[in-house]
A = this chain, B = another copy of it.
Amino acid sequence: MHILISNDDGYTAPGLEVLAASLSKFADVTVFAPEVNHSGASNSLTLNRPLMVKEAANGFVYVNGTPSDCVHVALTGVLKQRPDLVVSGINNGANMGDDTLYSGTVAAATEAYLFGIPAIAFSLTGRAWFGLDQAAEIAVQIVKQQIAQPIQAPVLLNVNIPSLAGGQIKGTKVTRLGKRHPSQPVMAAQTPYGEPVYWIGPAGEAVDASEGTDFAAIADGYVSITPLRLDLTHYDQLPSLSAWAQSL
């Protein structure tokens, strides 16, 4: 069992270190992770320059690129052996609802899924790594379950784990993605020379956190597992849009 691990917080992130250490107890583990933090990277690929692939003292491989770059170069030539599973994380903060689209953590897993390899993204909902060891145990359980009973379909799982004290997690729920309100307004600021600059604002509050969503599961103290698909075609709109396009 060979597992490739990546993340978006960078190769020195505690969430990555703990995940790699936990999985290496029962599997061959290879780490390809970004040299620096790439939160918000989405599925971006670096196309205008080549990537450097280096090995840190602890054996982790780091790449001066995005999470998608890391998994992409590993799978398309740098890694000699095709991994059996790709996991990403454990991320510093939740990746729920619309966040999923922007998440570099999810994107690293997505890249593997597009190459036909089962992939799981793990995120810890709180900041400051509270509950990280417990989250790693849960990640191990889920990975072992996938090894013991492989899901019989291409699979991309988005797992969020609540930052709770040991023993406080109530169980696991399989969920759909919730929805957020639009993100908060840009935060205007100034350079020392008086020029205006704008920070992207934080994500909006959940607007659909109803029963069955990832938001609801986390709020109730459960681990949330959401299966993802990447077929972006809006099939339901095909008939009406065909009618609309007649007039063109």
Q: Which of B42, B57, B197 contacts A43 (CB 8 A)?
A: B42
How far in angstroms is the closest Cβ of chain B from A107?
Answer: 7
Do A196 and B53 form a contact, CB below 8 Å, given A76-B183, A183-B76, A241-B174?
A: yes
Question: Quick one: copies of this chain in the complex?
Answer: 4
Q: How large is the interface on A (under 10, 10 to 19, 20 to 34, 35 or more residues)?
A: 35 or more
- Cα distance, A231 to B177, chains bound together (Å): 8
In the bound complex, do residue A188 and residue B76 qualify as a contact, i.e. CB atoms below 8 Å apart? Answer: no
Q: Name A141's closest neighbour in chain B (CB-CB).
A: B248
User: Using Cβ atoms and an 8 Å threshold, which residues of chain B touch A64?
Assistant: 36, 48
Residue in B closest to A226 when the chains form the complex, CB atoms: B233
Residue of B nearest to A171 (CB): B248
Residue A172 is within 8 A (CB to CB) of chain B in the complex: yes
Give Cα A193 to B235, complex, Å. Answer: 33
**Is B233 a contact of A177 with CB atoms below 8 Å?**
yes
- Of the listed stretches A20-28, A83-91, A94-102, chain B binds A94-102
- In angstroms, Cα B200 to Cα A78, docked, is 11
- Closest residue to A233 on the B side, CB-wise? B176
Interface centre among A37, A188, A232 (most CB of B within 10 A): A232
Q: How far is the CA of A152 from the CA of B35 in the complex (A)?
A: 43
Chain B residues with Cβ under 8 A from A107's Cβ?
Answer: 42
Which chain B residue lies CB-closest to A246? Answer: B172
The answer to whether A185 touches B76 (Cβ under 8 A) is: yes
CA separation between A52 and B77, bound complex, in Å? 25
List 10 tightest A-B contacts by C-beta distance, closest first.
A50-B197, A229-B234, A42-B43, A227-B237, A77-B186, A49-B49, A227-B234, A42-B42, A176-B233, A44-B44
Contacts A42-B68, A51-B199, A155-B237 aside, 6 further interface pairs with beta carbons under 8 A come to: A42-B44, A47-B200, A49-B50, A184-B192, A227-B233, A229-B233
